[in-house]
Amino acid sequence: MTAHIAAIGTALPPVVEQSDLWDDHFRARLNGSRAAGRIFAGAGVRRRHAVVSPLDHDVSECTTGERMRLYDQNARPLGHAAVTAALSSAGLEPAEVGQLTVVSCTGYAAPGLDVQLAASLDLAPDAQRLLVGHMGCYAALPALATVTDFVTAHRRPAVLLCLELTSLHVQPSTMDVEQIVSHALFGDAATALVVRPDEGSLQVVATSAVTDPASAGHMTWTVTDHGFRMTLSRQVPEVLGKHLRHAVERLLADNGLTVPEVRGWAVHPGGPRILDTVGHELGLPSRALEPSRHVLREHGNCSSATVVLVLDELLRSTALRPGDPVVAMAFGPGLTLYVTLFRHHLQAR
């Protein structure tokens, strides 16, 4: 009994050009700092998507309550669009879905987004729901492992939605380098996966994780009175470099594989230096991480939704053969690394 990714659906809010964000908003608020300008220019981001662009509405002084109201207004229609696209691509009706899992670290309410979507999608009354919150950028992979367990055990299709509206958490502009990096990187997106038993383009084979509690302070996502505040230390690539090769090689070895045998890499683009570190530590050719760099250029870092965007880009741009191994990798607070192994499936939809 196996579980497979049968379809991916995405929904994106309006686009905002990186150069416009710097020229028309952040430059003045950062006193024209050349160092800040270099951070924006070197972030690897060309454009992003935002439900609330600072060019139209500066939320940096909004309370957390005000930001949560904006989340409530924008999350359901965006999530509905992504799930609907994925179900349509998979040839499924909402009533066939046995479980809906929603991942988000950028907004909360009760009843939550999972309940709202169960109603708007018209899921079956007995459809199970799971809401995964505040895990951060790596959350898609442990959530996918849980969805895979459901599909394998119950032999029913399930949907995983990752929805992040990071634009709602822009902080007041200061010369704090970590905040400037955050302002230069993050964007909004909704991505949905349909997981089915024995049918789909990627078989989910195994997932593993590594957490380094000694480095917990290097990446945080803290609830404050003015939204959620990100800290992203310059040491993150270095810490990840200590763990990722062993984590990847261990997972592959458990499944009779080595790094050179992997035919596709879907790596969360937390920033250019993180991708450089992954490439260096694993000895990958530059083209191996092009799907990740493409997503970073076109969407920025969209937290948990990003690795699914990369996986979608990989499937579109890479000629995979039946049985080819594919690895997805994402990082986040903890400091945590998750790795998932897939195999391209003979009976791809």
**What one-character-per-residue DSSP string does 203-232 give?**
EEEEEEEEE-GGGGGGEEEEEETTEEEEEE
- Pair (119, 236) in one structural domain: no
- Pair (27, 109) in one structural domain: yes
pLDDT reported for residue 325: 98
- Pair (250, 177) in one structural domain: no
- Pair (134, 175) in one structural domain: yes
User: Tell me: the pLDDT tens digits for 82-92?
Assistant: 999 999 999 99
pLDDT reported for residue 120: 97
Alpha-carbon radius of gyration of the chain? 19
Q: Strand ranges (DSSP E) for the chain?
A: 3-11, 15-17, 47-49, 99-104, 128-133, 158-165, 188-197, 202-211, 219-224, 227-232, 264-267, 325-332, 336-344
Nearest to 147 by CA among 76, 196, 183: 196
Rounded to the nearest angstrom, the gap between the alpha carbon of residue 68 and the centroid of all alpha carbons in its chain is 20
- Pair (187, 320) in one structural domain: no
- Pair (193, 224) in one structural domain: no
Segments in the chain below pLDDT 70? 346-349
- Boundary of a domain, candidates 197, 229, 256: 197
C-alpha distances (whole Å) from 191 to each of 104, 216, 232, 308, 320 are 11, 27, 24, 6, 22
- Pair (178, 213) in one structural domain: no
pLDDT reported for residue 346: 59
35 is a domain residue: yes
pLDDT reported for residue 45: 98
- Pair (288, 333) in one structural domain: yes
How many other C-beta atoms lie within 10 A of the C-beta of residue 175? 11
277 is a domain residue: yes
**Are 272 and 20 spatial neighbours (Cβ–Cβ below 8 Å)?**
no
**Would you state the structure tokens that stand for residue 174, as one six-digit string?**
């200061």
Domain that holds residue 246: 202-344
**Would you state the structure tokens that stand for residue 52, as one six-digit string?**
């609330």
Domain containing 292 — which CATH number?
3.40.47.10
349 is a domain residue: no
- Boundary of a domain, candidates 180, 197, 214: 197
Q: Report the b/e string of 196-219 with b at 16+ CB within 10 A.
A: bbebbbbbbbebbbbbeeebeebb
User: Tell me: the pLDDT tens digits for 127-164?
Assistant: 999 999 999 999 999 999 999 999 999 999 999 999 99
Active site residue ranges: 137
Alpha-carbon dihedral 9, 141, 296, 218, rounded to 10 degrees? 150
- Pair (146, 215) in one structural domain: no
Number of domains in the chain: 2
pTM of the model: 0.96
- Pair (135, 254) in one structural domain: no
- Pair (295, 188) in one structural domain: no
Helix (H) or strand (E) holding 29: helix 27-29
Nearest to 102 by CA among 67, 56, 71: 71
- Pair (181, 243) in one structural domain: no
- Boundary of a domain, candidates 168, 197, 226: 197
pLDDT reported for residue 345: 84
pLDDT reported for residue 242: 87
pLDDT reported for residue 218: 84
Single-letter amino acid, residue 238: E
pLDDT reported for residue 117: 97
